[in-house]
Every structure is written in C-alpha cells, then in structure tokens.
C-alpha cells in the first residue's frame, strides 16, 4: 500500500508581493511537500462584494497542484468577515460582557447572528460546490480555531434560557442546582431570568460557559453538514483545534505557545462532526524545546476519536524565539508522527510582508528564498518519501489515561487554586511528569473515558466531578485499577456546588483518608524542599502516609497517601510538589498497575514514544531533546533503525546525536514482555 504522510503548508498566493505560484510549487516539491491548505482566511478575496464571487486564486492553485500532482485541503473562509458584511448588519460583530467588538480583527463575529449565518452559508456553498469535484482536493477544513468569542447577545441569552428549561425543567430545580437563594438570585418565573453577563454565581456562569462551548460544537456541525452535501466519499472533514495559549514575558501573542485545555471549546464534543481530528500546535524552541507540548497536544487530539489526526498548523520559524537550532525542525516533525499524526502542515509557507502576522514567519523568510529551515524540511521530506508506508497510521495502546475537564477549568477561573497556579498548570505538572518518565498516556475528556481500556487513571485537580463518574472511578480501583489524584479533586458536582460531606466526596474509603482544611504552605516543606501555592491537610485512616508535612503545626498531617482498596490502589497528592515527588508516586503506581517502563528507564531529555504501524510492526521513536550526544543500550533482541538502516542486537550501544532521533523497528520475536 503506497500511502503518503501529508506534508505541506498553508498557502496564500493572494498575500504575495508578486505572482510566483509556479515558483512556490516548484520549491515545495523540492523539499518533498505534497499538500497545501488554502482559503480559510480569504472571504473578502473570494466574495469582494456581496454575492459576487471571484475564485481565480483558488483556480490557479488547484491547476498548479494538479500539474505538480499535489493535494489540496480547502478551508471554509468564515473566521474573518469582510467589511461589507458588518456594514450590512452591525450586529454581526460579537457582543460580550465588555460590550460590542469593533471591526478589524479576526474571530470577533457572533457565530449565532442570522445575517452572518446566511452569508457564511452562501460563501461556503459557493466555494465547496466550486472545488469539491476537483481531483486534487482531498478534504475540507471547516472554519479555523473556532471559539465562542464570548458571545452573549440578546439572542444567545434567550437560547440559553431555552437550554436551561430543557436541562432543568423548572425554575425550582434550577434554583436548587445552583443554590440561587444566595444573594437573592433565585427566580420564580423563567421570564425573570436576568442578564447572564452580570452573573455572580460560579455554577450558573459555568453552565453558561458550557452552553457557549455547545454553540461552538453546533456551529461547526452546521458547517460540516453543508460540506457533506457536496464532498466525495474519499474526502475528509477536519478542523484545527487549538489549546489554551500560555504567555510569558510581555503580554503579546508572540510570547507564548500551546499549553493546555482550551477553555472556550470542548474538543470531545466538537470533534464529533469531523471525519478526522486536526490541531494547531506551537511550542518553545531552541534551549527551551522539550517536546512536551507536541506530545500533550498529540495525546489529546488522538484520544478524541481514538484515531490518527492531522497537524494542520505547526511552526517553522518566527519572531526571535522560534528560529530552530539545526536538527530541531526535523525533531519537531518526527515528534508529531510519534504521537500518531498522519501529517503536518506549516503555518505558513511564506512570511507575510504586511499585516498583524508579519513576523509569524513561514518556512520561507521574507526574501522568499532558501534558508536553513527550508533545507532541513527537505531532509525529512526525502526521508518520508522513502519511509512513509512504515511511519503512517501509527496506533498506540496506552494503559494510562489523564482526565481533563472544561467545567473544572471554568470553576478555577472563578475560584483559583492560587493566583499563580492555574488548572492547566496542574494538568501540565501531572502530564509532563509522566512524559519525562516515558510513561505514555492518553489525555481524555471526562465525558469520553472508557475505564476498561486502562490500568491507571490520573485526575489533575478534578474539582467538578459528577456522582456517576466518582462511583465509576471507585469501582475501577476496587476491581484492580490504580487511581492517582491531586489536590482539589472531587470537590464539587457538575453544577459546581461543593459536596456537603467529607472530602474527597464518596472516595474517603477508596483513598483511606479525609480532609476538611487546606492552607497556604507558608514555611512548610517536604524533605527540606519548601512547598508553594496550596496544600490540603490529609488525615489518614487506612491509608499509608507516604509523605508528611514538615512544619511545627501542619506536621501532624499527611501530604501524600497510598491506600489499598479492593484489588487496586489509590494515591492522593495533597499539595503541589516538585516533579521529583510526583515521579516517585508514578513509579510505584505504575508498578501497582503492572505497567513497565522500557529501555532502562530512560528519562527526558531522552524521550521514548512507541506504537504499532499499519504493517503490524512495533516502532519505538527515541528522541534526544538536548544539545548533548547520548548513548543508550538496545533492549531488544533485534531491531533496526529505519533512518540509518543500522541493525542492533540486545546490549549494543546506540548513539543519538544532539537534537536527533532513532526509530527502532523491533523484530517481533525479539520483544521482551513489556506492557505499555
């Protein structure tokens, strides 16, 4: 079977300072690219006046792609509206709690506005009808990094009330669920429901956030439905789901990267309308490149549909932060494949010469000539031509799941754990510790968890947990599973009402401990290392205290506990620790779960990512995320490095250069008895 890893870039000939489509495609082909993504930001180009369409740029790209035997992903151009649309109906601009947005930026429209929907449908139909039958078009991206944009218009609020009626039935049930008697917020009739923008009830505000996320899922499903009317059976529908953006330094977009759970979209719900999940992943580079963001993003997106996915945007070079060291661009690319990606596309092909994203550079710099990044892309582009059949469709069967939850994220926006510790900080603390130990996991939405697939479950600060989920986790442990939970887990129900029994709710016997006080650590330490942010004062019952606080007063309480419950075990980490402590817990928990770590227990910066390819062979990607050369010992009876074609026997030394990798294809008869 000759299947290609999708390799390419977003391409905007309409942004170019001069006509160079033929030159661009020639240069793309030279580095092994086979795919371009077009059109997702070009509404005013495609429809310069209402109802007057111009697809000349589209036609030229398709013609050149056909000539060069390349593939095209066409995006619906709806995330940046033309000015004529706002002039037609000013209410197209989104109204949020801060007021109404002004025209200029992208992604500031009301996705529920009737005029916007009508005009968006017209341009989608015109474009998809125009391109769907073209042989080069392999799929469609609907919209772009879609959010709800804080929409809270009169129409949206009316829809929210209808949503509440369907969900709760009566105002009495609504009042009880959110304890609206507080500060006289209870209502006697649905007609009395107030403007949600003034809401001071975390639970009700959280429900509105969940409703806004539902609007996003419904909106993208609506677009997907239109596209399905025209697409061929061999074409796909995708969307570039993104993540919460972590900022550092100056408060500008250029100083950040893809970090954690996206607060404005529920990925699991949104991905239901897609035939293949897609994502955008950006990350630190140079000395800060760890691979963790690529791994976290990949483990999250792959888990949405338990299938391979596309990286629709990744970085080449940009600003002063993202110019990669030699070897790093290639390392990025293979890191995506090792998480289960079936292709990567750069944002974008060329650097833009004017506009908001002028220095969000492409694979080509502003001079549009060759450069080290372009040349390095050519290196792995050639490798993928040769190895594509072995690297595509990697399947992973991880035995660890890390649970994430949008409602919990919303809760901590109202009641932060600490002003400097967010929900996503806890998620990444628990995920990154696994990653650095080479304990691979799936990152799974709480709505989608299939407990029977896993041996070990991790809950980072799972504050909002419905009774049903709690009882499922309890049964999971009782029947032999291993549960590792952090502070602030199992505190409140799905309406963010705090449970009124002893914490952790319904799980006191499972964890073998309880607590009813928490505090700032102050001078408290563990093994001489000062704690920070937050700590719960755990009182063991049947649990073993693995760590106790070092403090004159808080020393009477446990910090970390382990309890045998039924056939399984449950660990509770009551404070934010250094990763060293968490890794010790994971080591013991993995042993309890019967999960072994491979390759002499390598730790980051040597990272191992494994899976089975479409031919049934086990592949082990071993990455060196450092500037130092490393030597490891082959743990397999027989394996071959696909990149160098070097064969290794068990015990032989394997050298991995700085910012480099090997891909070991393991001989099946030589596999040791390990369970990932």
Determine the CATH number of domain 400-593: 3.40.50.880
Place of tokens 């070990």: 456
Fold annotation for 6-33+239-391:
TIM Barrel (3.20.20)
CB-based burial, 523-560: b 16+ in 10 Å, e otherwise: ebebeeeebbbbbbbbbbeebebbbbbbbeebeebbbb
Phi, psi dihedrals of residue 346, rounded to the nearest 5°: -80, 145
Determine the CATH number of domain 606-670: 2.60.40.1180
Query: In terms of Cα–Cα distance, which of 586, 585, 574 is closest to 513?
Result: 574
The pTM assigned to this predicted structure is 0.96
32/29 Cα distance (integer angstroms)? 5
Question: Where are the CATH 2.60.40.1180 domain residues in the chain?
Answer: 606-670
Residue 597 has pLDDT above 80, yes or no: no
Query: How high is the pLDDT of residue 673?
Result: 38
Tell me the pLDDT of the chain averaged across its residues: 95
Residue 248 has pLDDT above 90, yes or no: no
Question: Where are the CATH 3.20.20.80 domain residues in the chain?
Answer: 6-33+239-391
Residue 598 has pLDDT above 70, yes or no: no
* Residue 201 vs residues 263, 266, 419: alpha-carbon distances, Å: 18, 21, 20
* Residue 606 vs residues 337, 636, 637, 663: alpha-carbon distances, Å: 17, 17, 21, 13
653/502 Cα distance (integer angstroms)? 54
What is the average per-residue pLDDT within 450-461?
A: 97
| pLDDT, tens digit (0-9, with 9 covering 90-100), for 83-116 | 999 999 999 999 999 999 999 999 999 999 999 9
As given in the structure block, the two tokens for residue 385 are 């031509």
| pLDDT, tens digit (0-9, with 9 covering 90-100), for 391-435 | 999 999 999 999 999 999 999 999 999 999 999 999 999 999 999
Query: Is the separation of the CB atoms in 70 and 33 below 8 Å?
Result: yes
Question: Where are the CATH 3.40.50.880 domain residues in the chain?
Answer: 400-593
Residue 251 has pLDDT above 50, yes or no: no
């Amino acid at each position: 079977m000759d299947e290609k890893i999708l390799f390419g870039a977003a391409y905007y000939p309409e942004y170019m300072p001069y006509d160079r489509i033929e030159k661009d495609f020639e240069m793309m082909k030279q580095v092994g690219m086979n795919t371009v993504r077009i059109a997702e930001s070009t509404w005013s180009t495609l429809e310069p006046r209402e109802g007057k369409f111009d697809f000349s740029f589209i036609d030229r790209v398709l013609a050149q792609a056909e000539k060069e035997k390349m593939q095209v992903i066409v995006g619906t151009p709806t995330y940046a509206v033309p000015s004529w649309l706002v002039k037609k109906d000013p209410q197209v601009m989104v109204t949020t709690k801060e007021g109404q947005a002004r025209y200029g930026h992208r992604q500031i429209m009301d996705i529920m506005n009737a005029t916007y929907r009508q005009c968006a449908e017209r341009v989608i139909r015109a474009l998809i009808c125009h391109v769907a039958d073209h042989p080069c078009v392999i799929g469609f991206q609907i919209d772009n990094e879609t959010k709800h944009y804080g929409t809270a218009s009169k129409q949206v609020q009316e829809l929210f009330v209808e949503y509440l009626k369907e969900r709760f039935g009566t105002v009495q049930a609504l009042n009880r669920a959110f304890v609206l008697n507080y500060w006289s917020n209870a209502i006697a009739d649905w007609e009395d429901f107030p403007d949600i923008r003034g809401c001071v009830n975390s639970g009700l505000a959280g429900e509105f956030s969940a409703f806004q996320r539902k609007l996003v899922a419904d909106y993208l499903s609506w677009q997907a439905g239109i596209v399905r009317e025209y697409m061929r059976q061999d074409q796909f529908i995708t969307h570039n789901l993104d993540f919460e953006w972590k900022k550092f330094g100056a408060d500008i977009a250029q100083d950040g990267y893809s970090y954690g759970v996206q607060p404005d979209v529920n990925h699991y719900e949104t991905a239901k309308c897609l035939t293949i999940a897609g994502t955008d992943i950006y990350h630190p580079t140079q000395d800060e490149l760890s691979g963790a963001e690529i791994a976290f993003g990949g483990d999250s997106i792959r888990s949405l549909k338990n299938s391979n996915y596309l990286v629709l945007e990744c970085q080449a070079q940009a600003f002063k932060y993202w110019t990669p060291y030699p070897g790093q661009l290639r390392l990025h690319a293979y890191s995506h494949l090792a998480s289960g990606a079936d292709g990567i596309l750069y944002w974008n092909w060329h650097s833009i010469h004017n506009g908001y994203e002028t220095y969000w550079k492409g694979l080509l710099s502003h001079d549009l000539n060759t450069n080290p990044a372009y040349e390095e892309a050519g290196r792995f582009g050639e490798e993928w031509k040769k190895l594509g059949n072995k690297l595509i469709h990697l399947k992973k069967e991880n035995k660890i799941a890390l649970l994430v939850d949008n409602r919990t994220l919303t809760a901590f926006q109202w009641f932060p754990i600490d002003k400097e510790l967010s929900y996503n900080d806890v998620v990444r603390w628990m995920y990154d510790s696994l990653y650095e130990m080479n304990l691979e996991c799936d990152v799974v939405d709480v709505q989608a968890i299939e407990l029977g697939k896993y041996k070990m479950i991790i809950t980072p600060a799972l504050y909002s947990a419905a009774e049903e989920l709690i009882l499922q986790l309890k049964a999971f442990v009782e029947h032999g599973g291993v549960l590792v939970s952090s502070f602030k887990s199992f505190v409140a129900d799905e309406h963010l009402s705090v449970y009124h029994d002893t914490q952790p709710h319904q799980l006191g016997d499972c964890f073998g401990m309880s607590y009813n006080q928490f505090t700032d650590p102050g001078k408290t330490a563990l093994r001489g290392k000062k704690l920070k942010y937050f700590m719960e004062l755990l009182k063991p019952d049947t649990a073993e205290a693995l760590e106790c606080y070092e403090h004159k007063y808080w020393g009477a309480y446990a910090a970390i506990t382990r309890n045998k419950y039924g056939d399984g075990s449950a660990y509770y980490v009551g404070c934010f620790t250094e990763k060293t402590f968490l890794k010790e817990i994971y080591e013991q928990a993995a042993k309890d779960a019967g999960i072994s770590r491979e390759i002499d227990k390598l730790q980051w910066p040597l990272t191992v990512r494994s899976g089975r390819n479409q031919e049934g062979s086990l592949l082990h990607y071993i990455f060196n995320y450092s500037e130092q050369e490393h030597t490891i010992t082959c743990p397999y009876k027989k394996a071959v490095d696909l990149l160098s074609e070097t064969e290794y026997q068990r015990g032989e030394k394997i050298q991995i250069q700085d910012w480099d990798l090997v891909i070991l294809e393991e001989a099946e008869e030589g596999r040791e008895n390990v369970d990932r």
